[in-house]
Each structure stands twice: as C-alpha cells, then as structure tokens.
Structure 1
Amino acid sequence: MKTRDRILVTSLELFNLCGEPNVTTIDIANEMDISPGNLYYHFRNKDEIIFELFQAFETAIHEALQSPAEMGLDMMDYWMYVHMIFEKIWEHRFLYRDPATILERNERLQKKFNRILEKKRESALVIVERMRQESMIQISATEAERLAINATMTVTYWLNFQHIRHLTAHHEPDDLGLGVYQVMSLFAPYLPVEGREMLEAVAETYLGSTSSSDSFK
C-alpha cells in the first residue's frame, strides 16, 4: 500500500477510535512509524486528510442512498436498505460524532454534508411514496414529509446518541441493528396491523428479544 493510502487508512482508524479533535498529525505519523515530514509531503495538514476521507465517504453514502428501484419490496428489503446506510456511516463515524466541530472549519464540507442530508431526506420520501403506492402504509403528503425528516434525523444522529450514552463504558457500541429498528419503527404508526407484525418479526430476526424499549437499558 502506498504511503498516501496508508495515511488515509490510519487516520480513519484513529479518528473513529479517538475522535478527530483528539488526533494530531504527529499521532498519525507516530502510529505509522514515519516522520512528520513524510506525512506533510502527502498532506499539508489534518484538514486535507479529513477532506479526502470525506470525499470517499460522500461517494459511498450516495451509492448507498440510491432508493431501491424494484417494486414489490417487503419489510426485510427496506430493513436491509437502512442497515446498509448505517454501515457506511459507521465506517466514517468520526464525521458524525461531532460534525459541527469539523464542518465549522471547512465551508466546502458544510455544503457537501448538507447535500448528503438532503439526499437522505429525498431517498426517505421516495421510499415512503413507494410504500404508499403499494398500500403498505396509509399516510398523507404532510405526514410523509414529516416522516422523511424524522427518518433523516434518526439516521444522522443515532450513532452520536449511542456514543454519548456509552461514554462511561469507554467503548462505542456497534449494534447497528438497533439504529435500523429505530428508523423502521417510525413507520409503524402508518402500517396496518399485518405490517406492524411483519416489522416486529423482522426486528426479532435481527435483534432477538431486544427489539423493544428494553434495548435502551
């Protein structure tokens, strides 16, 4: 692996593990056992590293956010779609741990992150409309927009919520399924009885008996 690529891989690992504000370029160089000068040859500062990592994340998340094109999808399909989005966020979770700290330093990233937020909302709205067309849910246009926004907020802030809740445990939980369940549960009020039963059956498959509020204990 080329040194430039190693810098990106190591930086991502350290940012995810320790939080970006707690990692310096010297830390990255020491972890790689290279000189700071060697690192600065490839990246002038930490923000350049962050920008390149963000570009990789941007590509991955936009691909993941492409709404499923097939008709006739079931609850399991939508569960897996949301899970894939959470996986991409988890891979670059340092961007979501304290986004304001990073985005306030870089106007270009602010615009890019806002485009990602809007893409999340649009994708959620497409799925809501498709589910409505296939009579999976009963929902008004106003409710659909509100549901799309709530789903966007939950996807965006779930890992941050989990991180804060587990600060004293000195580890970050990687149970993405629980986050998926929180997103999917937003649809429950608009599902018919059989739809809610199917959602709980899918949740049971992935979460076992923890699919209820007991998961928060």
Structure 2
Amino acid sequence: MTERSKTKDTILRTAQALFNNEGEHAVSSVDLASVIGISPGNLYYHYKGKDPIIRELFADFEIELRQVLSAPINEPLALQDNWVYLYIIFEEIWDFRFFYRNPATLIDRVPELAMPFSRLLALKERTAFSLLSDLEEGGHLHFGEGEKAALSARLSQHFTFWLQYHQLREGPGPENAPTKALIDRGVYQSLSMIAPYWAHGEGFADLLREAEPDSLR
C-alpha cells in the first residue's frame, strides 16, 4: 500500500466515524481535515469535497453488505444461525449508520447513490425471503398465500428504517444518540414480526423471552 493509499484510507475511516457519530451534514471538509491533522488543501488533493468521500464510503458499504446479504441465498443457514445472522445484518448497517439517518436527503444531494441504494433494498428483501423460505421448508414457519412476500418486505423496511424510527421517536440531542443497544432491539423486533408464523409456538416464545432487550422489559 502506498503512502497516498494510507492517507486516503485514514480520510475514509475518520470520515465514517465522524459522519456516524455527528451526522454527515454536521461535518465539513475543514472539520475532517482538522481531526485528521492535515490541511484542507491536502484533503482536497485526495478528495474534491465531501461528496466523493461519501460515494467511496458507500461503495465500501455496498460491497460489505452484499457479502453479508448474499450468504443465506447462496447457502441455507442452520436453524440456530438465523438469529445470529440477524445481528450481523444490523451490525453491518450500524457500522455505516449515517447512510440511514436521512437517506432521501443524502440521495438528493448525491444522486449517484440512488440506484445502488435501491439495489441493496431489493437484496435485503430477497435475503429475508430466502431466510423465511428455508425456515418454512424446515417445517418451522407456516405461511398463507402472499404472507411470506409481505413479511419479507416488512423485514426489509425494518432493517432500513429502524434507526430513523429511534431518531424520530426519541428526538434529537446527545442524550438520545443511538447506541449499540439498539441492535438488540432491532433483532428482537425482527423476531417479533416472525413470531406469528412460527409452527411450534412455545419454542419461539422462549427464544423471544431470551432475546428481549432489558429496555423493553
């Protein structure tokens, strides 16, 4: 790796952390350069403003999330691995959560993100459908006509808007900043959506009780 590549990687990783913690809209190129300890001109040499940084971070995010989402489509998961897999999805989104803070506004400003974001949403839905299909074929879930596709869409929407819901419900301010505990809540709510279709009532009820976050008890 060249020295320039190391500098670009430092810029990207620092930007990702700042955008996640403070919101992309609240961080300027000058702020980013100051945190890294380089001049704004040096930053501009590598990236001509924030938008190219955002595009490159999204490319990283798309590669990582595609790898995660494609796993159960390519090879079915063992029953117990499905719940762990939900955590992995939420953790991947958490690592790039600034994309989910206000995606419509971000896409309006960086329209090149519209198509890849749309593709990721479609892949989330296909992944949810694949997970549910495997559980159905194993005799763990039972669906009526159209219910599996509808649940796949709801789960995809939940993956996408779970952080926005927290932000809107709790309001702005550092005291309401999202924390990793929200991942537990996101997974629990996903399981709650699946629960009505579980074919072995009690076993799933036990799983829900074990997965229930302290904040919901």
TM-score, normalised with respect to structure 1: 0.89
Whether contact under 8 Å (2:188, 2:211) holds in the other structure is no
Give the counterpart letter for 2:146 in structure 1.
Answer: T
Give 1:78 deviation, angstroms: 1.1
Q: Segments of 4+ in structure 1 off by > 4 A?
A: none
Structure 1 residues not aligned, in runs of 5+: none
Whole-angstrom CA distance in 1 between matches of 2:65 and 2:156: 13
1:132-171 superposed matches below 5 A = 132-166=136-170, 167-168=172-173, 169-171=175-177
2:64 to 47, 53, 60: 60
Q: Does 1:178 align with 2:185?
A: yes
Alpha-carbon distance between aligned partners in 2 of 1:9 and 1:113, rounded to the nearest angstrom: 20
* TM-score, normalization by structure 2: 0.89
Give the C-alpha shift of residue 154 in structure 1. 0.6
The unaligned stretches of length 5 or more in structure 2 are: none
Checking the alignment, whether the CA contact within 8 Å between 1:163 and 1:173 is kept in structure 2 is no
Contact 1:67 1:127 in 2 (8 A): no
For residues 47 and 112 of structure 1, the distance between their equivalents in structure 2, rounded to whole angstroms, comes to: 15
Please point out which of 95, 99, 104 is paired with 1:95: 99
Distance 1:199 1:106 in 2: 43
Paired amino acid for 2:132: V
* Candidates 201, 206, 212, aligned match of 2:206: 201
Aligned to 1:81: 85
Q: Which amino acid aligns with 1:199?
A: F
Aligned partner of 2:34 in structure 1 is 30
Matched, 1:122 2:129: no
Equivalent AA in structure 1 for residue 178 of structure 2: E
Shift of the 101–28 alpha-carbon distance from structure 1 to 2, 3 Å rule, reads: same
SS in 2 for 1:66: helix
**Structure 1 residue 171: Cα displacement:** 2.4
Equivalent-residue separation in structure 2 for 1:138 and 1:85 (angstroms): 24
Instruction: Please state how far the C-alpha of 1:106 moved relative to its aligned partner.
Output: 2.4
**C-alpha contact 2:16 2:96 (8 A) present in aligned 1:** yes
State whether residues 76 and 134 of structure 2, in contact with CA within 8 Å, keep that contact through their aligned partners in structure 1: no
- Report the 3-state secondary structure (helix = DSSP H, G, I; strand = E; otherwise coil) of the residue aligned with 2:70: coil
- Greater displacement, 157-166 / 127-136: 157-166
Deviation at 1:170, TM superposition (A): 4.2
**2: distance between equivalents of 1:170 and 1:123?**
31
Report the alpha carbon displacement of residue 207 of structure 1 after superposing the two structures with TM: 4.0
CA contact (8 A) 1:14 1:20 kept: yes
1:189 and 2:196 aligned: yes
* CA separation of 1:63 and 1:147: change in aligned 2, threshold 3 A: same
Question: Separation in 1 of the partners of 2:168 and 2:50?
Answer: 25
What is the percent sequence identity of the aligned residues? 34
Q: Are 1:111 and 2:115 an aligned pair? A: yes
